[in-house]
Amino acid sequence: MTEQNLPVALITGASRGLGAALALALAPTHHIVAVARTIGALEELDDLIQAAGGSATLAPMDVTQPDAMAQLCRSIWDRWGGIALWAHTAIHAAPLTPADHVDAKDWEKSLATNTTAMGHLVPYVAPLLGRDGLALFFDDPMAPGAKFCASYGATKAAQMAMVRSWAAETVNTGPRVQILEPRPMPTALRARFYPGEDRDALAPCADEAARLLQQIA
């Protein structure tokens, strides 16, 4: 099938970890629009997708920038008329620190990426999904309230609160909004929280992407 015949999957946070694994898992059946800040990592992902016979459009952008996201979503609408799926994996993991030692810059970056960005991403992407599209989000229920996770835990909890509201509001109207819970994976985010952990004992990102996609309702 050509790019024009495939449904479009938008992956925000696609350069590495779960986002990249989801892009690769979806590439056989979808044209991938891969969004991330790291150009080199996006190009590596594109090479892997093309080697597997798939196709991708790379969007080296920062999800915290409303104007860039508005331009991207308008371009998607003009080119394809919408998307079938949105998987949001973009996240900022601030360094572990006691709550009374939170660095102001780390707090602002966590808030901007994990929470504030949702205020423009959901309104911009929802029209692309229409009634029949699917939005996927990924919870980390152990983080809120965990020691030394104040910045990440608080902003991730706020993100999930917005997603749960959107999911409740769209039950009868669409798009479908689903929250999935990944198992621990050997990602850069995990390494920041658990340095020295035996990474061989963690679930490979590719395996976890396949497992999560099987849970789509």
Please say if the pLDDT value at position 192 is more than 90.
no
Whole-model pTM? Answer: 0.94
pLDDT value of residue 18: 96
Q: What is the number of domains present in the chain?
A: 1
Least-confidence region, from 63-77, 79-93, 188-202: 188-202
Residue 31 lies inside a defined structural domain of this protein: yes
Residues 133, 145: Cα–Cα separation, whole Å? 33
- Could you tell me which of 178, 177, 191, 182 has the C-alpha nearest to residue 210? 182
Give the model confidence (pLDDT) of 132-169 as tens digits. 999 999 999 888 999 999 999 999 999 999 999 999 99
Please say if the pLDDT value at position 9 is more than 50.
yes
Residue 119 lies inside a defined structural domain of this protein: yes
pLDDT value of residue 3: 63
pLDDT value of residue 196: 80
Residue 176 lies inside a defined structural domain of this protein: yes
Alpha carbon separation from 28 to 1, 93, 108 (Å, rounded): 10, 30, 38
116 three-state secondary structure: helix
Please say if the pLDDT value at position 1 is more than 60.
no
Residues 34, 144: Cα–Cα separation, whole Å? 28
Of residues 188 and 162, the one with the higher pLDDT is: 162
pLDDT value of residue 63: 98
The domain that holds 11 is classified in CATH as: 3.40.50.720
Give the model confidence (pLDDT) of 83-125 as tens digits. 999 999 999 988 889 999 999 999 999 999 999 999 999 999 9
Residues 5, 133: Cα–Cα separation, whole Å? 16
Residue 132 lies inside a defined structural domain of this protein: yes
Q: In terms of DSSP H, where are the helices of the chain?
A: 17-26, 39-51, 66-80, 104-110, 118-129, 150-169, 188-193, 205-214
Question: Residue 127 belongs to what domain range?
Answer: 3-209
pLDDT value of residue 2: 47
pLDDT value of residue 142: 85
pLDDT value of residue 4: 60
pLDDT value of residue 177: 98
At residue 195 the predicted structure's pLDDT band, cuts being 50, 70 and 90, is: confident
Residue 169 lies inside a defined structural domain of this protein: yes
